[in-house]
C-alpha cells in the first residue's frame, strides 16, 4: 500500500479554501513565516477517503472482529454513545468557557454530566467521592498511590516507604508506585492463584504504606480472602488500593469500597464501554473513602445550593493538579450514557454475562489447553500453551494462527506467573455463535499443533506484514518514508 505522500499529483487538492483576507505581512510575524511549502500530501478528497478507509481495514477492531484481549475488556461501544459525544453542545465546548456567570449556561450541561457521572461512579464503586481527572488506568493508579502518600504524610507517618504488590499484578502497578516514590515488594500467589496470606503477614511492617490489589485478579480469579487481606493491611497501618481494571467482572454485584478498599481506579474506557485498543483514549477515575477525600486532586466538580455545577479548586490539602480542565470529557460522557442506558439491573447483567461467557470458554477448552488454576473464573479465563510447546508451538504462534482465522489474539505476555499464557476475555457483548466460532478455531489450532506444528509456526499468512521483530519495532521504529 502506498503512503499518502506517494499518492496524488502536484497541485491536486481535496479542499477549497477561501483566499486569505488579512495581509500576511501584518498578521504573521516574519520569524513565524514559512519559507517553503508545508510539504503536505496533494491528494483529492476521494484519494484521501480511500487511503484512510483502506488503512483502517488493515487493522482489527471490535467493530470488525472478535477481540478477546484479556485484561483489556474490549467490549462493544454502542454507536449511540458516539452520537451523544458528537452533539454540538458537547463537541464544540471550549475548556476555557466560563463555568457560572457571563455565559456559564454554555458549560452547565457538561458540568452536570461530570457531576452526575461522579455521583453514579461513587455509588457503584462504594466510595465517598471520585475524582474524574485521571486520563487512564495507570494515571489513576499514580493518583491513587499519591493519595495514599498524602494521607500518611498528613498523619506525620514518614516511615512508610514500601508498597506491596502481588506477583500477578499488571506492570503498571509497580511502575505507578515507583513513580510516586515508593519501593515495591512482591507478594507471591499461593497454588490456588490467591494472595499467599502467610507471605503477606511476613511482609507487613511499619514501613508498609499499602497494598495494590487487583480485584478480581489478573489470573481472572476472585480472591475469597480479599476482606481479610484488607484488614491485615489496615491492622499494620497501611492502606488498600484496588486496581479496578477488571471491574467488568463484578460491576453491579460488588462494591470494592464495601469490602475494605480505601481507594480504587476504574478504567471507564473498559468497563463503561470505550474499548481502548491502540493505547487510547482513556479515563481512569479514582474513588476514595471518606478519609482520603481531603487529598483528592483539583479540580473537583460540585453541585451548589442553587443547583448549578462548578469546578472547585480551593482545597488546601489536595495533592494538586494531575490533569487540566474536565479530564477526558469525551470518555466520561460515553460512560455517562452507558450508565444511564443500563441502570442498576443492566450493570448486574453485564458482569453476570461477562463471567458466564468466560466460564463457557474455560469449560469448552479445558484439557485441550492447560489451565494452571482449575477454578470457576471471573470475566476472563487464562490458559497456558505448555502442552502445545511440547510440539514446538508457543502461545505467540497460536496468537498468530488466530489472526489468520479472523480473530484478534488473546493477551499472551501477561500474567507473568503463567508460562505461555493465553488470557481470554470474551466480554458480555459477544453472541454465543461468535464465541463458538472462537472455540472451534482454538480447537482446530490445537489439533493442527499436534499433527502438523509447522503450519501453526508459519502463521500469519493472511496479513499485510508477516512476523515482525516486535522489540525492534518498538525500540527502533523506522519512521521514515521513501521520498
Q: How far is the CB of 42 from ligand PLP (least distance, A)?
A: 38
Nearer of residues 118 and 141 to ligand PLP, judged by Cβ: 141
User: CB atoms < 10 A from the CB of 125, how many?
Assistant: 27
Q: What minimum distance in Å lies between the beta carbon of 221 and ligand PLP? A: 13
Minimum Å gap between C-beta 331 and ligand PLP is: 10
C-alpha cell at 139: 494515571
Whichever of 203 and 245 has its CB closer to ligand PLP, that residue is 245
- Nearer to ligand PLP (CB atom), residue 282 or residue 297: 282
Q: How far is the CB of 425 from ligand PLP (least distance, A)?
A: 10
What is the CB neighbour count within 10 angstroms for residue 93?
15
Alpha-carbon distance of 73 to 424, in angstroms, equals 10
Q: Which is nearer to ligand PLP, 77 or 267 (CB)?
A: 267
C-alpha cell, 172: 503498571
User: What distance in Å separates the CA atoms of residue 70 and residue 28, rounded to the nearest whole number?
Assistant: 51
CB of 139 to ligand PLP, least distance (A): 7
Residues 124 and 256: beta-carbon distance below 8 Å: no
C-beta separation of 292 from 147 below 8 A:
yes
Q: Which residue is nearest to ligand PLP (CB)?
A: 137
In order of 219, 384, 395, 432, 449, the CA distances from 423 in angstroms are 8, 8, 10, 19, 19
Helix (H, G, I), strand (E, B) or coil at 423: strand
Pick the closer one to ligand PLP by CB: 266 or 365.
266
CB of 373 to ligand PLP, least distance (A): 16
> Is the separation of the CB atoms in 211 and 238 below 8 Å?
yes
Residue 259 DSSP SS3: helix
Give CA separation, 271 vs 2, 250, 464, in Å.
37, 10, 32
Tell me phi and psi for residue 450, to 5 degrees: -75, -45
Looking at the Cβ atoms of 131 and 218, the one nearer to ligand PLP is 218
Task: Please report, as ranges, the residues that interact with ligand PLP according to CB under 6 A.
Answer: 71-72, 136-138, 170, 172, 214, 218, 243, 245, 267, 282, 284
Query: Smallest gap, in angstroms, from Cβ of residue 270 to ligand PLP?
Result: 7
| Cβ–Cβ < 8 Å for 323, 139 | yes
Nearer to ligand PLP, 99 or 411 (CB): 411
| Cell triple for 302 | 460540585
- In the complex, least distance from residue 74 CB atom to ligand PLP, rounded to whole angstroms: 10
Q: Which is nearer to ligand PLP, 136 or 233 (CB)?
A: 136
3 state SS for 79-93: HHHHHHHCCHHHHCC
Amino acid at each position: 500500500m502506498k503512503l499518502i505522500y506517494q499518492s496524488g499529483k502536484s497541485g491536486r487538492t481535496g479542499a477549497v479554501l477561501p483566499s486569505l483576507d488579512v495581509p500576511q505581512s501584518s498578521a504573521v510575524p516574519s520569524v513565524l513565516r514559512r519559507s517553503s511549502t508545508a510539504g503536505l500530501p496533494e491528494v483529492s478528497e476521494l484519494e484521501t477517503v480511500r487511503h484512510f478507509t483502506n488503512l483502517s481495514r488493515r487493522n482489527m477492531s471490535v467493530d470488525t472482529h472478535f477481540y478477546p484481549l484479556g485484561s483489556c475488556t474490549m467490549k462493544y461501544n454502542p454507536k449511540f454513545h458516539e452520537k451523544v459525544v458528537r452533539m454540538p453542545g458537547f463537541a464544540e465546548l471550549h475548556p476555557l468557557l466560563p463555568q457560572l456567570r457571563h455565559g456559564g449556561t454554555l458549560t452547565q450541561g457538561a458540568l452536570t454530566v461530570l457531576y452526575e457521572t461522579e455521583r453514579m461512579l461513587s455509588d457503584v464503586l462504594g466510595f465517598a467521592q471520585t475524582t474524574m481527572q485521571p486520563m487512564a488506568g495507570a494515571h489513576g493508579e499514580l493518583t491513587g498511590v499519591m493519595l495514599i502518600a498524602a494521607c500518611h504524610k498528613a498523619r506525620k507517618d514518614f516511615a512508610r516507604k514500601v508498597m506491596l504488590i502481588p506477583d500477578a499484578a499488571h506492570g503498571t502497578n509497580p511502575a505507578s508506585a515507583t513513580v510516586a516514590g515508593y519501593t515495591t515488594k512482591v507478594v507471591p500467589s499461593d497454588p490456588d492463584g490467591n494472595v499467599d496470606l502467610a507471605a503477606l503477614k511476613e511482609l507487613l511492617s511499619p514501613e508498609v504504606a499499602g497494598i495494590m490489589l487487583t480485584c478480581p485478579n489478573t489470573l481472572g480469579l476472585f480472591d475469597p480472602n480479599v476482606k481479610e487481606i484488607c484488614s491485615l493491611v489496615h491492622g499494620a497501618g497501611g492502606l488498600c488500593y484496588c486496581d479496578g481494571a477488571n471491574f467488568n467482572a463484578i460491576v453491579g454485584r460488588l462494591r470494592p469500597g464495601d469490602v475494605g478498599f480505601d481507594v480504587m481506579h476504574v478504567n471507564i474506557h473498559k468497563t463503561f464501554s470505550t474499548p481502548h485498543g491502540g493505547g487510547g483514549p482513556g479515563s481512569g477515575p479514582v474513588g476514595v473513602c471518606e478519609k482520603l477525600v481531603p487529598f483528592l486532586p483539583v479540580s473537583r466538580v460540585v453541585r451548589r445550593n442553587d443547583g448549578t455545577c462548578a469546578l472547585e479548586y480551593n482545597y488546601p490539602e489536595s495533592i494538586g493538579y494531575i490533569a487540566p480542565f474536565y479530564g477526558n470529557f469525551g470518555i466520561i460522557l460515553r460512560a455517562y450514557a452507558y450508565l444511564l442506558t443500563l441502570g442498576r439491573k443492566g450493570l448486574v447483567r453485564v458482569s453476570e454475562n461477562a463471567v458466564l461467557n468466560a466460564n463457557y470458554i474455560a469449560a469448552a477448552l479445558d484439557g485441550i489447553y492447560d489451565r494452571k488454576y482449575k477454578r470457576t473464573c471471573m470475566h476472563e479465563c487464562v490458559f497456558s500453551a505448555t502442552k502445545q510447546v511440547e510440539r514446538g508451538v508457543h502461545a505467540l504462534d497460536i496468537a498468530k494462527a488466530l489472526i489468520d482465522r479472523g480473530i484478534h489474539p488473546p493477551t499472551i505476555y501477561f500474567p507473568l506467573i503463567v508460562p505461555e499464557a493465553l488470557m481470554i476475555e470474551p466480554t458480555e457483548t459477544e453472541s454465543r455463535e461468535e464465541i463458538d466460532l472462537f472455540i472451534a478455531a482454538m480447537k482446530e489450532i490445537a489439533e493442527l499443533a499436534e499433527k502438523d506444528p509447522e503450519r501453526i509456526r508459519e502463521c500469519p499468512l493472511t496479513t499485510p506484514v508477516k512476523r515482525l521483530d516486535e522489540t525492534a519495532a518498538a525500540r527502533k521504529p523506522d519512521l521514515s518514508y521513501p521520498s
